[in-house]
Amino acid sequence: MHSSSRRRLAAAALSTAVCLVGAACSSGSGSTGSQGADSDTYTIWDPYPQFAKGSAWTKLLDKCGTQARVKVKRTGFDTSDLANKSLLAAQQGNSPDVLIVDNPVVSTLAEGGVLTTTDDNKLDTSKVDPNLLAAGQSGGKTYGTPIGANTLALYYNTKVLKDAGVDISSVKDWRSLTAALAKVKKAGKKGITFSAIGTEEGSFQFLPWFWGAGAELTQLDSAQGESALSLWKDWLKNGYAPNSVLNNTQTTSWQEFATGDYAFSENGTWQLANAKKAGFDYGVLPIPAITQGTAAAPTGGEFVTVPVQQDTGRYATTRKLATCLTSTQNLYDTDTTLSYIAPTAEVQDKQVAANAEMKPWVDAVKSAKGRTSDDLGTKYPKISEQLWKAVQSALSGSTSPKDALAAAQSAVK
């Protein structure tokens, strides 16, 4: 590996401090990459350590290996560890053949010289929704294909809204949502809960409102960004949202909603199973933009990527494995298991046909946006950190939304 490549890898390692959200986490095991495997064994690393041998996921990997006439050696890593392990493996010339990684990390690995492009590896991305594919693009090149996506929307408690005299169909923008929260409070219930914690989770949850106001991550202190932060601050000031949002994770925010006292909760597809166990009727509404329409929410979910190999003869079989994992039927099965929305319209239609409750999530994903889109790449972690600091500062009353965002923009520069 050339010294310039090593420098890119070292720089990329510094940017993997992005906290990843909406993913299951547990300890992974060590493994060797493709250099430690024989010619009939192909290595796959993924961020799903919760799926043990014999699960539907590992059976799919074995099936794809059988179809490609090779053995598959799979290792599941904790999501937050996988990026660093991937960078280290690349430095050692020991990358896995297939790497499934959280979408914000793709640009980091790409800029570090770890990944091949789809032009090089010939993965077909023609059916993938462009807004989802954008999360895996950097410098005008594409570095993989999404295996599925999750995003944020508003869960709502049907009874709380009914008792407060709120017709959910009237909630179409910020004004009507705030009016609904006022009615709920007047009826003696609680309005909305979300996560504004000082981590990536806080930025992740703020982005739909930030983007929904028309703001851009390249200019944090715009008037549009200020209006989004002012919306959240006013909700706290008027008692429509609890002060606990300052420390809430997405999990603790959900626990508040699960008490049955709140009208709304901003949360993701990963709470669907818990929603069914909540014990009350609920619905899902895509997060509204400042005016009528759906706000762009950030996408979670992983990309199937093909790391650079010294033995380029491995790529043909690797492509067969990646293509198998992202085939129409396998995407449907995998995304059902992961509570993900598929990245193609064909599979999304199958998901809605099988379960009508998926329709608002499909709508939300179609309007969603990658956090590293707009060619932000490795700039995103620094921007995000300043954004969540601004949210914390404004909501705690330390400073005004305008001054908080001005300080954030100055820090980013």
What's the average model confidence in pLDDT over 280-290? 97
Give the dihedral sign, CA 154/396/253/366.
Answer: positive
Distance CA 255, CA 67 (A): 43
- Please state whether beta strands 262-268 and 190-193 pair in parallel, antiparallel, or not at all (unpaired): parallel
Distance CA 107, CA 94 (A): 20
For residue 155 the two structure tokens come to 């869960």
**Amino acid 158: pLDDT:** 98
**Amino acid 309: pLDDT:** 95
Is residue 205 within 8 Å of 152, Cβ to Cβ?
Answer: yes
- Residue 337: closest CA among 329, 282, 86: 329
Is residue 148 within 8 Å of 331, Cβ to Cβ?
Answer: yes
Q: What is the pLDDT of residues 47-80, one digit of tens each?
A: 999 999 999 999 999 999 999 999 999 999 988 7
- Residue 12: closest CA among 374, 372, 378, 307: 378
Q: Is 384 exposed, middle or buried (0-12, 13-18, 19+ CB in 10 A)?
A: buried
Confidence check: pLDDT of 3 > 50: no
Quick one: what percent of the chain has pLDDT higher than 90? 83
Q: What is the pLDDT of residues 354-394, one digit of tens each?
A: 999 899 999 999 999 999 988 888 899 899 999 999 999 99
Q: Which domains does the chain have, with CATH numbers?
A: 3-149+299-366 (3.40.190.10), 152-297+376-412 (3.40.190.10)
The residue type of 280 is F
pTM as predicted: 0.85
- Residue 322: closest CA among 95, 185, 91, 125: 125
Phi, psi of 72 (to 5 degrees): -110, 125
Distance CA 15, CA 105 (A): 9
Give the dihedral sign, CA 86/94/331/60.
Answer: negative
Q: How far apart are the first and last CA of the chain?
A: 32
- Residue 158: closest CA among 260, 267, 254: 260
